[in-house]
Chains A and B, each alone.
Chain A
Amino acid sequence: GAVVSQHPSRVICKSGTSVKIECRSLDFQATTMFWYRQFPKQSLMLMATSNEGSKATYEQGVEKDKFLINHASLTLSTLTVTSAHPEDSSFYICSASSSWGTEAFFGQGTRLTVV
């Protein structure tokens, strides 16, 4: 199956700083990428959908200025958590799909801890 690599797998940052998470499709062109957030013992909540070369579409309640999403190429999307606060600590997961595909493939996830 197609491979999606997410980096880093774990990151700890100080309050007020920004952190960038990368999501790469290694063996296919990802025309669409999705970013999810998962709180402990809860389900995945879709944060935003990004299409290559376009602005991301954010779900209701997700602050676009806080969670910056860039999808500048067909193999890379980034999520930047700006001015992070402890309440932003969570597990972030990306997925990617191609224009011809019928499913999205998930990255391994990133555990963000803001201290």
Chain B
Amino acid sequence: AQSVTQPDIHITVSEGASLELRCNYSYGATPYLFWYVQSPGQGLQLLLKYFSGDTLVQGIKGFEAEFKRSQSSFNLRKPSVHWSDAAEYFCAVAPYNNNDMRFGAGTRLTVKP
């Protein structure tokens, strides 16, 4: 069965510092991969997605993620975080036919001034 692991439950970074959120997946084939952000009490906003092609994916708000097949990872990065980036971040995977999307446990990002 497919699964998603986000090893870090909570990360705190200083404003202006770089950020990397980890995501590992377990799946028989290369799935579709997603990163979502959720502010408190809000729905999900898609940051970026990977289906195929270039393994470095650019998203909104200055985020990027790199798919590494050998490590079954899809880590999210941002070179300089802003206070408004404080939120919950979810990595998700879905098979090619888009059914049965599974989410990681989430990583809560706190940004220190």
Chain A at the B interface: mostly helix, strand, loop or mixed?
strand
B43 at the interface (CB under 8 A from A): yes
Given A103-B32, A103-B34, A109 contacting B43 (CB threshold 8 A)? yes
Interface residues of A (CB under 8 A from B): 1, 6, 32, 34, 36, 41-46, 49, 91, 93, 95, 97, 101-104, 106-109, 111
B79-113 to A contact mask, C-beta < 8 Å, 1/0:
00000000000100010001111111110100000
How many A-B pairs fall under 8 Å by CB? Answer: 53
Q: Is the beta-carbon distance between B98 and A104 smaller than 8 angstroms? A: yes
Given A42-B106, A43-B106, A102 contacting B43 (CB threshold 8 A)? no
How many residues on chain B are close to A (CB under 8 Å)? Answer: 22
Interface residues of B (CB under 8 A from A): 32, 34, 36, 41-44, 46, 49, 51, 90, 94, 98-106, 108
Chain A hits for B46, CB < 8 A: 1, 103, 106
Q: Is the beta-carbon distance between B104 and A43 smaller than 8 angstroms? A: yes
| From B51, B99, B103, contact of A43 by CB (8 A) | B103
